[in-house]
Structure 1
Amino acid sequence: MTRNQIREIRSHLIQGLHSINGQLDSGSTVLENCPDDTDFAAQLAQHGLNVAMQRRHVTRIRELEAALKRLSHSDYGICEECGEEIGVARLKANPSARLCVACQSAEEDGLSRRCA
């Protein structure tokens, strides 16, 4: 990978972190005491959605931070499963990718064998 590509990917990762951190601040809700069970159920459902989104954001933050850490080491862009290089186009599309396309497909299909 060239220095420009690394710089572009680093910028994309940092922008992703800033974007998610902004979303975390705006996603909190407080459950209120409602005399109406329907309103309370709606609030509870919304709270459940907010908690799920918070967890998803935290997971994504961890992925982006791990990718930034790998970017500063020699193992960034190397598939964690087979050890082959991950394509630059894939890394630009998803800079936190840990697997090459073939290994990612195998994982999604539930296969644990290594790709070649």
Structure 2
Amino acid sequence: MDNKASSSSSYTDFTPYELKDGEEYMNDAQVEHFRSILLNWKRSLMEEVDRTVHHMQDEAANFPDPTDRATQESEFSLELRTRDRERKLIRKIDSSLRRIDDHDFGFCESCGADIGIRRLEARPTAEMCVDCKSLEEIRERQLGR
């Protein structure tokens, strides 16, 4: 099994956006910056899905030894769990792309404040500002979720 799973959900191959004095938040240049990040990230994830399918087809063997068979099944199971997490991430990316199209991207869905360029570069699928997300996490811990 190749070790590309750890890098498959990476979207870090981009140049950070250079803010200009007096620049309007979520202007066309910023929106295109994030659209590009999201589309490249999605493409990377989809390529990883394809690699997994090919890998599983190429490596699938009916080992006579139960230990070898169990090892292969364990590796495949781990790959499939990783792909399932990435499938969910692709849905979040698609949701972020829809928010871009709807002109809602970059604004907190809870309070409407700017999420911030640097936070979005760190987490392009962020839907809340740091303050609202922190409050949500505190509530979740208190409720034991």
Residue 9, structure 1, aligned to residue 34, structure 2: yes
Give the aligned length. 113
Aligned residue in 2 for 1:38? 67
Query: By how many angstroms is 1:110 displaced?
Result: 4.5
Unaligned 5+ segments in structure 2 are: 1-25
- Report the AA paired with residue 96 of structure 1: T
Query: By how many angstroms is 1:102 displaced?
Result: 1.9
Partner SS, residue 26 of structure 1: helix
Query: By how many angstroms is 1:82 displaced?
Result: 2.8
Give me the CA root mean square deviation: 2.0
Residue 101, structure 1, aligned to residue 101, structure 2: no
Quick one: distance in 1 between partners of 2:121 and 2:49?
Answer: 24
Quick one: distance in 1 between partners of 2:133 and 2:29?
Answer: 26
Query: By how many angstroms is 1:60 displaced?
Result: 1.2
For residues 76 and 45 of structure 1, do their structure 2 counterparts lie closer, same or farther at Cα, with a shift above 3 Å needed?
same
Query: By how many angstroms is 1:108 displaced?
Result: 3.6
Partner SS, residue 102 of structure 1: helix
1:41-100 deviation per Cα after TM superposition (whole angstroms, max 9, x unaligned) = 101111111110110111111111110110011321121233322112111222211111
Instruction: Using structure 2 for the length normalisation, give the TM-score.
Output: 0.69
Partner SS, residue 41 of structure 1: helix
Residue 49, structure 1, aligned to residue 78, structure 2: yes
Unaligned 5+ segments in structure 1 are: none
Quick one: distance in 1 between partners of 2:75 and 2:41?
Answer: 25
- Report the AA paired with residue 12 of structure 1: I
Aligned residue in 2 for 1:67? 96
Query: By how many angstroms is 1:40 displaced?
Result: 1.1
Query: By how many angstroms is 1:10 displaced?
Result: 0.8
Q: Percent identity?
A: 35
